Structures are given as structure tokens and as C-alpha cells.
Amino acid sequence: MPAQRLFLDAGGRAPVTPRTADALRAGLADGWADPARLTAESRRARALVDGAREAIAEAWGVHRDNVHLASSVPFAVERLLTGVFTARRGRDRIGVSTIERDLVLDTADFLAPGAVDRYPVDADGHVDIDAVRQGATHPGTALIALQHGNHEIGTLQRLDAVADITEPAGVPLVVDATATIGHVPAPERWDALIADPADWGAPAGLGVIALGPRTRWLPHWPEGSDPWAPGGVSVPLALAAAVALQEMLEGMEAEARRQHALVDRMRAGLARVEGVHLVGDAVERLPHLLTAAFLYLDGEPLVTRLDREGIAVGSGSACGKAAFEPSHVLAAMGALTHGNLRIGLHPGVTEADVDRFLAVLPRVVEQVRQSMTA
Amino acid sequence: MPAQRLFLDAGGRAPVTPRTADALRAGLADGWADPARLTAESRRARALVDGAREAIAEAWGVHRDNVHLASSVPFAVERLLTGVFTARRGRDRIGVSTIERDLVLDTADFLAPGAVDRYPVDADGHVDIDAVRQGATHPGTALIALQHGNHEIGTLQRLDAVADITEPAGVPLVVDATATIGHVPAPERWDALIADPADWGAPAGLGVIALGPRTRWLPHWPEGSDPWAPGGVSVPLALAAAVALQEMLEGMEAEARRQHALVDRMRAGLARVEGVHLVGDAVERLPHLLTAAFLYLDGEPLVTRLDREGIAVGSGSACGKAAFEPSHVLAAMGALTHGNLRIGLHPGVTEADVDRFLAVLPRVVEQVRQSMTA
């Protein structure tokens, strides 16, 4: 009998829980009508969306009116950066770290061609605070976009130190929390926040934005009922997102401890493989993510062979344009960019699963290395 | 015992069928992984999305590669018009009819401020063919966007006569079929097509675009994996969209006949109410839509009172920015814009339902008129 599939590629996507699947069903049964209309059916759909926003806002300690559901995460990033940038008329530079997501970097380049300042990171992936300070005090800086935690290597940024700089400088701090919400406590100091329900266990298809009460923002696109979600969001997806977040938060502390220990166990096991480099901060990190870079091999055959053994892992740029584009995150950190493997744990992964992975991996690495020199 | 709710506001949204709900469930169970990655889970998700595109493409007689799933209908409209317009460098005018959807008009105004030609329509809502001819031969016209059928009044445009003009002129014809696909045969002559799965019975949250094989199109936004759906579409929604379309098409001919007769019955009944104007072509029309404008009353109390009687209808601009903004469609046709009522039938509506509505309506109209003069 073949061993059960082992899914270790849960950065951003994972099987949904029964409770979340039920929420999607309920959202479809009660929320099929257009929330923008005026009959009982529409009022019910509107109440579901409002309730979902309310639940998410409450989890973050902000007011519901400051939370917006968007059609997708990239759309949320694009509209948010565009809106904040446009409101800062006369300032034309954008500051980012070198290890932001592709979609943040691409949007910044689109808005401020040739005027995106890339702040370097140290060997563990923490952004250079001096570079942030220089950027924040530059009179041309319209906004600074930094991630809460990295989607590939798991390193958590020290956002308190960053906010200590951006707040007095009056530069809006846009925080990309798409890899962290639901896994660790939400960041507290930001002018705008972006989150990804699919990363906290909801079905993919929504983005979430929170705006600080004083954050200025100007639209720069065709008019419409909802700038964050032209045409409105899917009611079932909104309900499922709120329920999945609630479920994650209920168990977050214990689950974070458990996953942190599992990744420690994995790091210890992987460290015994020849020619491996464990990337990112071993302590100040997301509990569930791990990237390892291997000498003398490519990521694609590694993923493919593990897949055939029944184990799903990631590689390449976690959320890049192509699954095997070399990771700019690893490049920015001076790590090997080709032979890497990215692990994302979800609540269903056990210690026995980790041990199974660790038992299989050295043989597969050896096979890939041999096939590449053959 | 209160009578059952009667939902007659199905233009664009309706309760989903069990088969479509099952498809959504199946899409969630088998399509939760990221289609852009490389493991078995992702391949399965990708196969579901590809299958959905294939099924939709087949229904329209086009190749799968020319069909794109978008994050929403307004997003599809925005990106499509922007892309086609950008590809026609040097031409800066856009032609539309006066009764296009708000989102088409708003996007056109955004792209070509002060250079949108609005072709008038006749008393039944058919676009003036001479105006189209003048527009198509104007050297500055970048594209012409016309709807297949109107979302409020149901009138079907004579697109063959339009294509006879735009094709030799080499002007791209973008057809908004968001109110027609699934209700009547799909239009055959277009350079780009936009459709709305929610209008054919799928859960809302997707738009669909088809491009002619020779239609030129240039991106004008941040790079990303999928210009039509940054971050990808929801796999369960894609599957549900394809299944719902299949179900609609299987029964379309018979259902169109049945609904056409029901609307005829409704028109005959409504014609007996004092001070009513039935808007739109009585014959060349969508089978399921009807708009009636009433003298001496407002739409909002009419909808609200009918809602209290257990009957959901629409009013105002069907898909406008605010539910009770006066309809620009009716204004363009010289009809009353305030006291109107929009009916959208779905497959569950019976002749008995229509008769119940017709029995209730005159009394409610009378009540509203009295309350307004009181």
C-alpha cells in the first residue's frame, strides 16, 4: 500500500478545515444575492459580508470601517500602493526591502520607475535599519513597504524599530502581512496592512486590507462601487475567510509552539545533510516555514522526485511569476538560489510526518546530485 | 402561514442549483492547492481550472487558449478595455452606446477622457447603426464597446449589422455579453467578449473574457503571473462557473421559450396598470428580463413594499454604483427614470409565481402612489 500523501507546501495554501468548508457552504446558501441591492435576500448577503469584515477587524483590534475585502491579494497590493502613493503627491520614491514579494516589487517599479529604493537585509533576512532611516528621511519618499515576515525563509522583521523611524518622519508604512496573520500575533504598528486569507486556511480568492484611521489614500482608476473589489467580493469566500481566521486564532499559540518545534526538528535533521544551508533566522521566524538551499543540485528535480515519493514541497520563488524562477529573496541574502526547497507546515502535519520526510530526503538529494553529474 | 418568498430579482444573481453547489464543493476538495506550483496537488488544481476554461471555450466555439478567467467582471472590463485601447496606440477615441453598463462607461471615460463617443439608441434600445458607422470610420477610434443585450431592459443589439461595419473598418468590437450568455445563444462576431458567470447561475466572483485570435492587446499594469487574475482565480469558483454554464446550456432553448412566455404574460398583466410604460423591445429581447416604468411613484418604496409582501424585485440602475441612482439606461431612452421596477426571472419561477406577482402589484402601486401624495 502506498504511503499517504504528505503535504509540506502549505505556504499560502492548505486543505481547508471542515469548519471552513461549512462556512463556504453556508455563505453560498445564504449569501448568493447581490449585497448591493435592497431586498431581504440582499440584506442577508450584506450582513454576512459585514459580519466577516467585523470578525477580521476585531481580530486585529481595528474598526470594521477600516478593513476592506479585495478581489485578490495582488489586486489589494496594487490598489493599496497606488492609492497611498497617489495621495503623497510631489513625492516620487518608494522604499522596500530587497526580500519583499515579487508583486510588491513589481507594483513599486510600475508606480515609481527608477525610483524604488531597495533596502538591504542582513544574513538572517532582517532589513538594514540605517537604510530604512535614510529612506524615511529622504524628502522624496512617498511610502515604505515592508513585510511582517518573509514568505520563503520565515524571518520576522523588527517592525517596532521600523515604525519608530517612519512614524516621526510621517512616511506611511505599508506592511505586507500575507505570510504571517494566523501564524503569529498580527503586527501592531502600520499605516496600512495587507493580509491573505488563503495563508490562514481559507479558500484562495480574496485579499484583505486594513487602513490606519489617518492613512491618506486616493483612487486612481475607473469609478465603481467598491475600489478594493469592483463588483463586490464573493460572499461565501468572505465568510469562509472570517471563520478560518477565527479557527486559526483560537489555536494559534499552541499550534505556533508545536510547529516551531517541528521546524526546529527539521532544521536539525537537515543540517546533517551534506552541502546544505538553512536560510533565515532560526529563532525570530514564522513557526511553519523553512527554506533550505543545497549545493550541487537544482530545485525542480528535487521537488519532482519528492512528489513521486508522495511528499509535496515547494521550491523556487514561493510566489514568483514562474514556479522555477530563481528566488530573488535568496539572491538578496547571498544564498544559493537554484537548489532550494521550501517547507510550509499546516496543522495536520505531525512529528511522524517530519521524521518520514527526514528519512526520505538524504536519499533523494543524493539521487538528484548523481543524476546531475551523470 | 406566510407565502413563500418569491425572488424576481435574478438579473446577475440567483440561487445556485444543487449541481453547481456540488461543483463548488468538489472544487474546494480537489482544488485547494496553488495551480501555479508543481506537485500532484497543484497539478490537480490546475487541471480543474484548465477543464473549466475548456468547457466554457467549447460552449462558445473558441479555443481554450483564447478564454481567460478574471477576478471579477469589472476587473475584466477594466483590463480588457485598457489592453485593447493601449494596443491601438495613436487612436484615442472610444465608441459606446448610451445604454452600456456603468462600468463600461466609467472605464471608457477613464481611458479616453473627453473622447468617448456615445452612440444613441432608438425607443426600443437598439443602437443607431449610422452613428456606429460614423464612429467606426473615424480615424481616431481605438475600439467600440457594445453590449449583446441590455441588463435592465433586455433589448438585444443587432450585432451582425455592427460587425458588418467594424470588421472592414478594422476597429476592434468589444462585446459585453454579461447579461446574455446562458440565456440566449452566444454572439458569434466579436473581437473580444466579456461574460459574467453569476448571470448564468454560478456563484459570483469571476469574470470571463474571450479574445479573438487576431485581437491585439497590450498590458498596462504591474507584471504578474496572470494579467486577468493576479494571483490566479478561485478554483472552486471556476469549476462552479463551468458546471453552471453547462447546466444552463442543456436546458437553454426550452427555458428561454418558457421565460419568454412568462415575461409576455407579465407584460400583458402590467400593461393593465394605470400609468405604466414597458421599456425595451417586446420581441428582440432577453427571455428573462423586464423593466416597467411607472408614473407618479418612486422605485425605492415600491421595492420595499413588495419586499415586505415577500416578493423581491429590482429597481434603479441594475448594476450602478448605488442601488437607487436613476438609471442612465432609461434616461437615454427617454423613459421615466425614477419609478421603475426591474424583473429578472430564474429557472425556479413558475406561471403561478407570475400570477401572484400580478395580483399583488396593482394594490402596491396604488399604496405607494397614495403615500407619495399624502
Stated length of chain A: 374
My answer on whether A148 and A195 are in the same domain is: yes
Nearest to B177 by CA among B280, B66, B286, B253: B286
The cell for A273 is 545533510
Name every chain A residue with its beta carbon within 8 A of the beta carbon of B323: 36-38
My answer on whether A200 and A260 are in the same domain is: no
Of B246, B265, B299, the residue that ends a domain is B246
Q: How far apart are the first and last CA of chain B?
A: 32
Task: Determine the residue type at B355.
Answer: D
Total domains in the fold of chain A? 2
My answer on whether A320 and A189 are in the same domain is: no
Radius of gyration of chain B (CA): 21
> Regarding predicted confidence, which is higher, B131 or B59?
B131
Q: Are strands B311-312 and A289-294 parallel, antiparallel or unpaired?
A: unpaired
Q: Name the DSSP class of B64.
A: G
The cell for B43 is 497539478
Among A260-269, B199-208, B324-333, which is the least confidently predicted range? Answer: B324-333
My answer on whether A237 and A257 are in the same domain is: no
The cell for B54 is 475548456
My answer on whether B283 and B148 are in the same domain is: no
Q: Hey, is B302 helix, strand or coil?
A: helix
* β-sheet with A192-195: strand ranges across: A67-70, A207-211, A192-195, A173-176, A141-147, A93-97, A116-119
A22/B contact by beta carbon, under 8 A: no
Residue A7 has pLDDT above 50, yes or no: yes
Q: What is the pLDDT of residues B144-200, one digit of tens each?
A: 999 999 999 999 999 999 999 999 999 999 999 999 999 999 999 999 999 999 999
Q: What is the pLDDT of residues B244-266, one digit of tens each?
A: 999 999 999 999 999 999 999 99
Residue B354 has pLDDT above 70, yes or no: yes
Residue A320 has pLDDT above 50, yes or no: no
The cell for A23 is 462556512
CATH code for the domain of B187: 3.40.640.10
A222/B contact by beta carbon, under 8 A: yes
Distance of CA A296 to the CA centre of its chain: 29
Beta carbons of B13 and A33 less than 8 Å apart: yes
How confident is the model at residue B335, as a pLDDT? 83
Phi, then psi, of A186 in degrees rounded to 5: -65, 150
B25/A contact by beta carbon, under 8 A: yes
How confident is the model at residue A319, as a pLDDT? 47
Report if residue A357 sits inside a domain: yes
Residue for grid cell 440561487: B15
Quote the Cα angle for B188-B190-B194, to 5°. 95
Distance of CA A153 to the CA centre of its chain: 11
Question: For residue A337, what pLDDT band results from cuts at 50, 70 and 90?
Answer: confident
My answer on whether A26 and A55 are in the same domain is: yes
Mean pLDDT over B202-219 rounds to 94
Mutate to test the interface with A, among B9, B34, B107 (most CBs of A within 10 A): B34
Nearest to A209 by CA among A36, A71, A23: A71
CATH code for the domain of B334: 3.90.1150.10
A19/B contact by beta carbon, under 8 A: no
How confident is the model at residue B349, as a pLDDT? 96
The cell for A110 is 510600475
Residue A352 has pLDDT above 70, yes or no: yes
Q: How many CB pairs under 8 A join A and B?
A: 186
Beta carbons of B39 and A9 less than 8 Å apart: yes
Could you give the dihedral angle defined by the CA atoms of residues B252, B258, B262 and B265, in that order, rounded to the nearest 10 degrees?
A: 140
- Cα separation of B70 and A212, whole Å? 30
Q: What is the DSSP string of A137-181?
A: HSTTEEEEEEESB-TTT-BBP-HHHHHHHHHHHT--EEEE-TTTB
Report if residue B281 sits inside a domain: yes
The cell for B90 is 495613436
My answer on whether B89 and B224 are in the same domain is: yes
Mean pLDDT over A88-110 rounds to 95
B169/A contact by beta carbon, under 8 A: no
Distance of CA A332 to the CA centre of its chain: 18
My answer on whether A264 and A304 are in the same domain is: yes
Mean pLDDT over A202-213 rounds to 95
Residue B304 has pLDDT above 90, yes or no: yes
The cell for A201 is 486556511
How confident is the model at residue A324, as a pLDDT? 61
Q: What is the pLDDT of residues B11-34, one digit of tens each?
A: 888 899 999 999 999 999 999 999
A16/B contact by beta carbon, under 8 A: yes
A199/B contact by beta carbon, under 8 A: no
Residue A20 has pLDDT above 70, yes or no: yes
How confident is the model at residue B230, as a pLDDT? 81
CA distance A255 to chain B (A): 21
How confident is the model at residue A223, as a pLDDT? 67
Burial (CB count within 10 angstroms: exposed 0-12, middle 13-18, buried 19+), residue B183: buried
Nearest to B27 by CA among B12, B46, B14: B46
Q: Which residues contact B142 (CB under 8 A, 6 or more apart)?
A: B84, B85, B88, B91, B92, B93, B94, B112, B171, B172
- Cα separation of A240 and A204, whole Å? 10
Residue B44: CA atoms inside 13 Å, Cβ hemisphere, count? 14
Mean pLDDT over B306-326 rounds to 75
B110/A contact by beta carbon, under 8 A: yes
Q: Name the DSSP class of A117.
A: E
My answer on whether B167 and B285 are in the same domain is: no
The cell for A283 is 529563532
Q: At what angle do helices B40-60 and B18-30 cross, to 10 degrees?
A: 150
What are the Cα distances from residue B120, in Å, to B13, B130, B152, B173, B182?
28, 10, 16, 17, 27
Q: Hey, is B152 helix, strand or coil?
A: coil
Neighbouring C-beta atoms of residue B114, cutoff 10 Å: 7
Alpha helices in chain A (DSSP H): 18-30, 40-60, 73-87, 102-111, 129-137, 159-169, 235-271, 299-308, 328-332, 351-373
Report if residue B140 sits inside a domain: yes
Name the B residues in 232-291 with CB < 8 Å from any A CB.
232-237
Report if residue A166 sits inside a domain: yes
Indicate the residue of A207, A224, A314 with minimum beta-carbon distance to B37. Answer: A314
The cell for A159 is 517592525
Report if residue B338 sits inside a domain: yes
My answer on whether B316 and B347 are in the same domain is: yes
Neighbouring C-beta atoms of residue A120, cutoff 10 Å: 13
Residue A323 has pLDDT above 90, yes or no: no
Beta carbons of A237 and B205 less than 8 Å apart: yes
Beta carbons of A74 and B230 less than 8 Å apart: yes
Of B186, B213, B246, the residue that ends a domain is B246
My answer on whether B10 and B32 are in the same domain is: no
My answer on whether B183 and B107 are in the same domain is: yes
- Cα separation of A278 and B20, whole Å? 46
Beta carbons of A321 and B224 less than 8 Å apart: yes
Residue for grid cell 431592459: B153
Report if residue B1 sits inside a domain: no
Indicate the residue of A73, A232, A307 with minimum beta-carbon distance to B39. Answer: A307
Is residue A183 within 8 Å of A163, Cβ to Cβ?
no
The cell for B172 is 476592434
Mutate to test the interface with B, among A7, A38, A235 (most CBs of B within 10 A): A38
Report if residue A311 sits inside a domain: yes
Domain span at A163: 18-246
> Regarding predicted confidence, which is higher, B225 or A336?
A336
Report if residue B209 sits inside a domain: yes
Q: Please, which residues bridge with residue B207 across strands?
A: B70
Question: For residue A2, what pLDDT band results from cuts at 50, 70 and 90?
Answer: low
How confident is the model at residue B320, as a pLDDT? 44
Of B246, B273, B304, the residue that ends a domain is B246
